[in-house]
Amino acid sequence: MRFQRVKGTRDILPLEALARRELEQLVFSRLSRSGFQPIHTPTFEKFELYQRSTGESSDIVIKEMYRFQDMGGRDLALRPEGTPSVMRAILENHIKLPVRLWYSMSMFRQDKPQKGRYREHTQIGAEIVGEAEPEADAELIKLGFDLFSEIGIDGMYMELNSIGCRECRPTYQVKLVNFLKKHSSEMCEECRVRMERNPLRVFDCKVASCQDILKSAPSQRDHLCKECKEHFDKVKKGISAFNIPYQENDRLVRGLDYYSRTVIEFKSTSLGAQDAVCGGGRYDYLAEEMGGPHIPGTGFAFGVERALLASKGEGIFTYEQPTIALLILPLGSDATSFALDLVFKLRKAGLEALVEFRSGGLSRMLKRAASRNARKVLIVGEDEMASGVFILRDMKSGEQRELSFEELIESQDADSS
Ligand code: AMP
C-alpha cells in the first residue's frame, strides 16, 4: 500500500468514533449544567504564544512542538495544549470574566509514540477563568471526579499538590537547587539541564536513580507561604467535604511553567506507563506571561483516548458493531426509485432506514442484508408498490408481517421504545 498514517497518528474507526461521541455528549451535558460554555480555538497559533506561556524550558516547547513556517514565513505551531490558546482568545475577544469554558480539541506533540501516547490526541478541557478562590479549585476537582467516576475509569486515584506562588517558590527553588547540586554527578544528563533551566521539573524525571535521590529532596509543601498554605488547606477541606479520596504527592509538579498553587492529576492503574488520565491546576500567571493583565484561573484537561482506554472494562460506552435498523429491499429498478422516495419519508418520520441499491433475486438480497447486519428488511416489489402494503421481515426470527406505511411507522416506534 502506498500511503500509511504518519507515525504516532491514529485512524479513529466508526466504533471508537461512536464511543467518543457518547463520551463527549456526557461531558457536554455535565459541564453545561455547571455553567461551562463551549469554545474552539485555531489548530495552529503563533509559535511565540506557546513559547511564552507553556514556557521556553518546557519539554513541550523544546522537544515536542510541531513548529513550522508557512508560505508567508510566519513562525507557527500546531496546538500542543489548550489553555494558552483559550486564554489568548479570552484576552483578544475581551470575554467577560469570570467565565467557564470547555473544549474538545486535537493536540499535537512529537513525543515517542506508545500505548496511550500519540502525536495527535484529543483533550477535553474545562477552565474556570477569573476566579482566584480555592473553592473554584475544589469545585473543578469534584466535577472531574464525578465525571471520571461516571465514565468508569478503572483503578482511578487522584493526586494533589501545591507548587506555591511567586512569593514562596523562589526560596524553595534555591533550597532545591542546593540539594540537586550536591547530587548532580549522580543524576541523569537531562536532570542536570533541568536543574539550570527549571529545577522543579526534575520531579518529572522517570529515571529510577534520579527518583531515588529525589526522595530526600526538600519539599515545596514545607515551604509554602502563609497565603499558599491557606489556599491549599481550603482546597483540601473542600474536596474532603465532598468525600473525594486523594493522595497528597509533594513530588507532583506540572510540566508547564504557568502553573501556581494547586496541581492535580487523575491517574488510572489500568494504563501502564502512561497512567495520567487528567492533569490540571491553577494558572494564575498565565495571562501575565502572555502580556495581559493578572487573571487567575484554574482548569483540567483529560485525554479522550486514555479515558476510553481506561473505561473500556466498565463498558459504559457501546463499542458494538453497528446494525441497520431497517433495510429496504427493492425488487426491480422501478422499485428502487420508489424505495428511495419511501426511505426519505420514513426518515422524516424519525426512523433509521437504508435502501439496498444492488439488485438481485430475493434470496440473494436477504443474504446480503444479513451480512450488512440489518435487523429488519422491508420487501418492496411490484405488488407492494401497487397496494401500498409492504412485507416487513425480522432478520433474526424470520417472522414476516404485512404493513402499510402508517403501520410501519407505528410499529417501528413501538420497537424502538
Ligand atoms: P498534559 O497537558 O500533558 O497534562 O495532558 C493532559 C492529558 O492529556 C493527560 O493526562 C493525558 O490523558 C492526555 N495526553 C497528554 N499527552 C498525550 C499524548 N501524547 N497522547 C495521548 N494522550 C495524551
Ligand 1: nearest atom to the Cα of 255: 3
Q: Compute, in angstroms, the gap from residue 302 CA to the centroid of ligand 1.
A: 7
Q: State yes or no: pLDDT of 414 exceeds 70.
A: no
Ligand 1: nearest atom to the Cα of 111: 19
CB-ligand 1 contact for 302 (6 Å cutoff)? yes
Q: State yes or no: pLDDT of 225 exceeds 50.
A: yes
Tell me: the pLDDT tens digits for 133-182? 999 999 999 999 999 999 988 889 999 999 999 999 889 999 999 999 99
Can you spell out the DSSP letters for 275-300? -EEEEEEE-TTHHHHTTS----EEEE
Share of the chain above pLDDT 90, in %: 74
Q: Compute, in angstroms, the gap from residue 278 CA to the centroid of ligand 1.
A: 7
The pLDDT score that the predictor gives to residue 313 is 53
Tell me: the pLDDT tens digits for 11-65? 998 888 888 998 999 999 999 999 999 999 999 999 999 988 877 777 777 789 9
Of the two residues 158 and 255, the one the predictor is more confident about is 158
Q: State yes or no: pLDDT of 412 exceeds 90.
A: no
CB-ligand 1 contact for 277 (6 Å cutoff)? yes
CB-ligand 1 contact for 150 (6 Å cutoff)? no
Return the best residue to mutate from 121, 151, 158, 304 for the ligand 1 pocket (most ligand atoms within 8 A of CB). Answer: 121
The pLDDT score that the predictor gives to residue 125 is 98
CB 395 within 8 A of CB 375: yes
CB-ligand 1 contact for 81 (6 Å cutoff)? yes
CB-ligand 1 contact for 301 (6 Å cutoff)? yes
CB-ligand 1 contact for 276 (6 Å cutoff)? yes
How distant is the alpha carbon of residue 105 from its chain centre? 8
The pLDDT score that the predictor gives to residue 195 is 87
The pLDDT score that the predictor gives to residue 253 is 87
Tell me: the pLDDT tens digits for 315-352? 566 666 778 999 999 998 899 999 999 999 999 999 99
Tell me: the pLDDT tens digits for 386-401? 999 999 999 999 999 9
The pLDDT score that the predictor gives to residue 394 is 97
Return the best residue to mutate from 306, 308, 311 for the ligand 1 pocket (most ligand atoms within 8 A of CB). Answer: 306
Binning pLDDT at 50, 70 and 90, where does residue 413 land?
low
For residue 380, which phi and psi values (nearest 5 degrees)?
-125, 105
Domains 14-168+224-317 and 324-412 share a fold: no
Q: What is the mean pLDDT of the chain?
A: 92
Ligand 1: nearest atom to the Cα of 306: 12
CB-ligand 1 contact for 110 (6 Å cutoff)? no
Binning pLDDT at 50, 70 and 90, where does residue 311 land?
confident
How much is the pTM? 0.91
Q: Which residue has the cell 416489489?
A: 381
What cell was used for 269? 492503574
Ligand 1: nearest atom to the Cα of 81: 2
Q: Compute, in angstroms, the gap from residue 213 CA to the centroid of ligand 1.
A: 27
Q: Domains of the chain: which residue ranges?
A: 14-168+224-317, 324-412
- Beta-carbon neighbour count of residue 159 at 10 Å? 18
- Beta-carbon neighbour count of residue 16 at 10 Å? 16
Binning pLDDT at 50, 70 and 90, where does residue 415 land?
low
CB-ligand 1 contact for 305 (6 Å cutoff)? yes
The pLDDT score that the predictor gives to residue 416 is 47
Q: State yes or no: pLDDT of 365 exceeds 60.
A: yes
Q: Compute, in angstroms, the gap from residue 4 CA to the centroid of ligand 1.
A: 24
- Beta-carbon neighbour count of residue 246 at 10 Å? 17
Q: Compute, in angstroms, the gap from residue 63 CA to the centroid of ligand 1.
A: 15
The pLDDT score that the predictor gives to residue 417 is 41
The pLDDT score that the predictor gives to residue 316 is 62
Strand order from edge to edge, sheet including 297-303: 37-38, 99-108, 120-129, 297-303, 276-282, 260-268, 156-162, 247-248
Residue 217 burial by CB count (10 A; 0-12/13-18/19+): exposed, middle or buried? middle
The pLDDT score that the predictor gives to residue 315 is 58
Q: Superfamily for 14-168+224-317?
A: Bira Bifunctional Protein; Domain 2 (3.30.930.10)
CATH 3.30.1490.100 corresponds to the domain 324-412: no
CB 31 within 8 A of CB 102: yes
Best-predicted range by mean pLDDT (112-126, 173-187, 205-219, 307-321)? 112-126
**Ligand 1, atom 18: closest residue by C-alpha:** 117
CB-ligand 1 contact for 306 (6 Å cutoff)? yes
How far apart CA 313 and CA 298 sit, in angstroms, is: 31
How far apart CA 234 and CA 228 sit, in angstroms, is: 10
CB-ligand 1 contact for 109 (6 Å cutoff)? yes
Q: Which residue has the cell 491514529?
A: 10
